[in-house]
Amino acid sequence: MRALVLLCVIAGLLGSSLSNRNCPDLIVDSCHCSAERSKQLSRQHVRVRVVCDDVELMDTLQPSFLPNRTVSLNLSNNKISLLRNGSFYGLAVLEKLDLKNNLISTVEPGAFRGLHALRRLDLSNNRIGCVLPEMFLDLGSVSKLNLSGNIFSTLTVGIFTHLVALKVLHFSTETLFCDCQLKWLLLWARGNSLRIGNDTVCVFPTHLHGLEFHNLREHQLRCDGPLEMPLFQLIPSQRQVVFRGDRLPLQCTASYLDPSVELRWRHNRRMVTTHEDRGVYVEDTLIHDCCLITSEVILSNIELGLGGIWECLVTSSRGNTSLQMEIVVLETSAPYCPTDRVTNNKGDFRWPKTLAGILTFLPCAPATFGSAPHPSGSIAHPSSQKGKKAWRSCDRNGRWGEEDYTQCPYASELTRVLHELTQITVNTTNAQPLGQQLVAFTSRAAHFTDVMDVIFVTHLVERLTRLVGKRKDLGDYISDIASNMMLVEEHVLWMAQNEARACTRIVQCVERIADLSLTGDNQVISKVSANIALEAFLIRPSNFLGLSCMALQRPPSSATSPLPDGHSNFDKEKIKDGDAEGESLLNFKCHTVNNSGSPASQLSKLGETNRPVMQQ
């Protein structure tokens, strides 16, 4: 054990002394130098490798501090941002240079001057946008070059003229644009037997996305497609609410795809130019790193007139595109809309004090389980109400204006469930359970408080009615539901009638049951619910003559209509279902029947006898 520790210490000492001996002038402690001698054992053939990996270097090492026999220099994973002219001058035998994963954005012409022996250069994962031929001066021996992970989207003609020995090239970037501007490289690679790495894939245009560049055909590299921008942004992108007199710069950045790309500004659809009197300054357009174009407009002293839509417009030979944002300018003494509380069928909303001219949002109120009964077999209401909002606008004068609660769910669970049911497509399979469910829900109709409950039931009854022809049993449900609905409080019915003619529509549905269920083999129908009785006969005019009579049983005198005899009353001729053996009176109604009319008109006349009547 002790021997092992000792050995390690010795090895450590040996290592550091070796390092010192190989790189006597190197001041950066964290660099590691290793040397190996070739067979000749002559001083000339010592090969030194220097690794300064991940040591927070901000700059390249002074070449004079490195052994002039350095064959490999690894500066990867540092924070180098600039390569100056002659950064490695003097390293005449350097063969490998690894600069990957730095922050290099500028490579000065002549940066690699003197590296005549260099064979591999890795510049990947940096921020190089401009790739110029002078960058590669003296690199006549380089056979492998990795430019992947930089920010350029194209490479211009002739940039590799100094790289006469280049055999393998990688240049995949997140914005690589495979268009006519790269056609030369395809041809040049073929002509110079240059291999382009199969990891170099197109990102733009969309129709070439993911294709390996080396597999492309010349005719696929075109510039006439629709305009696509790898990057296009306007800052700020969201609406800005500012006070009169404020300062606000707007900055627009777009990909500089080719020299035809220009940026312009529009305000409320009019071109913007510098207007010192109004405090509007349009700055010169700048091109950054050969691949981005930016423009800035500074609003230094915002007047009311500068409010509205601001737009950054890209024009190019490939087409135009634009981005917009809105500026709302407030008077410094802008009024406020007061706090306000709104309670409606979507819940309870407390609107905060809000500046004039602002649209304000509130999250939908958490579902409250109000007065509505818990419906049997209720559908789980969606828990995904997150992010749903109501909005209300405060106008310029500080008065509450337009508002919208449509995104919010109904506060009452019954209303919510009915609303969800209206979203379901009713077919012959689900109609029967739906009818049952509605009969159950409406059995508590006396507690309905929301107009929407009545309106939703009306919708559903209409949908069920459409299927009565296919499923006779639906008629019973509809008649029961209609009967139940007569128990809804009068003012609620009245509002539903006003808003959606709900009562009229329910009555029409009940009437239609007869039309739909009387067929050849079904000549008589009779439906009796608590508050509605419906009798219908199929009568053939040819074999019918005389009187049609009907016996109506009056309920005991105390049982009057559940609704006062007002505007929305049902007909007095209601048949109470129940015990016929009592002492109640039988009431006959007879009509002469006109043979000459159509069967349908006769039917409707008969139907009228017992039709519940609701005013419209």
Ligand X SMILES: *[C@@H]1O[C@H](CO)[C@@H](O)[C@H](O)[C@H]1NC(C)=O
| Residues at the site binding ligand X, with contacts judged by CB under 6 A | 51, 53, 68, 74, 76, 85-86, 92, 96, 98, 100, 109-110, 124-125, 134, 146, 148-149, 170, 197-199, 315, 319-320, 425, 427-430, 594, 596-597
Q: How far is the CB of 483 from ligand X (least distance, A)?
A: 27
Residue with smaller CB distance to ligand X, 425 or 543: 425
Residue with smaller CB distance to ligand X, 109 or 245: 109
The C-alpha atoms of residue 359 and residue 275 are separated, in whole angstroms, by 30
The C-alpha atoms of residue 162 and residue 158 are separated, in whole angstroms, by 9
With 0-12 CB in 10 A as exposed, 13-18 as middle and 19+ as buried, what is 412? Answer: buried
- Helices 451-466 and 431-442, axial angle in degrees (round to 10): 150
Residue with smaller CB distance to ligand X, 4 or 27: 27
* The length of the chain, given as a count of residues: 616
Q: How far is the CB of 159 from ligand X (least distance, A)?
A: 15
The DSSP secondary structure of 509-554, one letter per residue, reads HHHHHHHHH-BTTB-EEEEE-SS-EEEEE---GGG--SEEEEEEEP
- In this structure, the number of other CB atoms found within 10 A of the CB of residue 607 comes to 19
In 213-288, DSSP assigns E strands to 232-235, 240-243, 248-255, 262-267, 270-271, 280-282, 286-288
The C-alpha atoms of residue 395 and residue 107 are separated, in whole angstroms, by 55
Helix (H) / strand (E) containing 361: strand 359-363
Residue with smaller CB distance to ligand X, 212 or 489: 212
Q: How far is the CB of 100 from ligand X (least distance, A)?
A: 5
Residue with smaller CB distance to ligand X, 314 or 532: 314
Whether the CA torsion 191, 195, 198, 199 is positive or negative: it is negative
Q: Contacts from 233-239 at CB under 8 Å and sequence distance 24+?
A: 233/323, 234/312, 234/323, 234/324, 234/325, 236/325, 237/323, 237/325, 238/325, 239/325, 239/326, 239/327, 239/328
Residue with smaller CB distance to ligand X, 63 or 409: 63
The C-alpha atoms of residue 90 and residue 69 are separated, in whole angstroms, by 10
- Helices 502-517 and 599-610, axial angle in degrees (round to 10): 130
| DSSP state for residue 352 in the 8-state scheme | P
Q: Which two tokens stand for residue 3?
A: 């021997």
Residue with smaller CB distance to ligand X, 465 or 529: 465
Q: How far is the CB of 346 from ligand X (least distance, A)?
A: 27
215: CB partners within 8 A, 6+ apart: none
Q: Which two tokens stand for residue 2?
A: 């002790």
Secondary structure (3-state) at 578: coil
Residue with tokens 């310029």, as numbered in its chain: 396
Residue with smaller CB distance to ligand X, 141 or 504: 141
Residue with smaller CB distance to ligand X, 68 or 397: 68
Residue with smaller CB distance to ligand X, 143 or 443: 143
Q: Which two tokens stand for residue 93?
A: 């035998």
Chain centre to alpha carbon of residue 605: 57
Residue with smaller CB distance to ligand X, 149 or 205: 149
Q: Residue 214 to residues 78, 178, 468: CA-CA distances in angstroms?
A: 31, 11, 67
Q: How far is the CB of 201 from ligand X (least distance, A)?
A: 10
Q: How far is the CB of 323 from ligand X (least distance, A)?
A: 15
The C-alpha atoms of residue 116 and residue 167 are separated, in whole angstroms, by 16
Residue with smaller CB distance to ligand X, 321 or 561: 321
Q: How far is the CB of 477 from ligand X (least distance, A)?
A: 17
Q: How far is the CB of 98 from ligand X (least distance, A)?
A: 4
Q: How far is the CB of 246 from ligand X (least distance, A)?
A: 30
The C-alpha atoms of residue 532 and residue 510 are separated, in whole angstroms, by 9
Q: Are 486 and 461 in contact (CB under 8 A)?
A: no
Secondary structure (3-state) at 115: coil
Secondary structure (3-state) at 293: strand
Q: How far is the CB of 458 from ligand X (least distance, A)?
A: 21
The C-alpha atoms of residue 180 and residue 216 are separated, in whole angstroms, by 12
Residue with smaller CB distance to ligand X, 560 or 595: 595
Q: How far is the CB of 193 from ligand X (least distance, A)?
A: 15
Q: How far is the CB of 541 from ligand X (least distance, A)?
A: 10
Q: How far is the CB of 595 from ligand X (least distance, A)?
A: 7
Q: How far is the CB of 125 from ligand X (least distance, A)?
A: 5
Residue with smaller CB distance to ligand X, 125 or 294: 125
Whether the CA torsion 482, 488, 490, 493 is positive or negative: it is negative
The DSSP secondary structure of 69-104, one letter per residue, reads TEEEEE--SS---EE-TTTTTT-TT--EEE--SS--
Q: How far is the CB of 300 from ligand X (least distance, A)?
A: 26
Residue with smaller CB distance to ligand X, 250 or 421: 421
Q: Are 488 and 446 in contact (CB under 8 A)?
A: yes
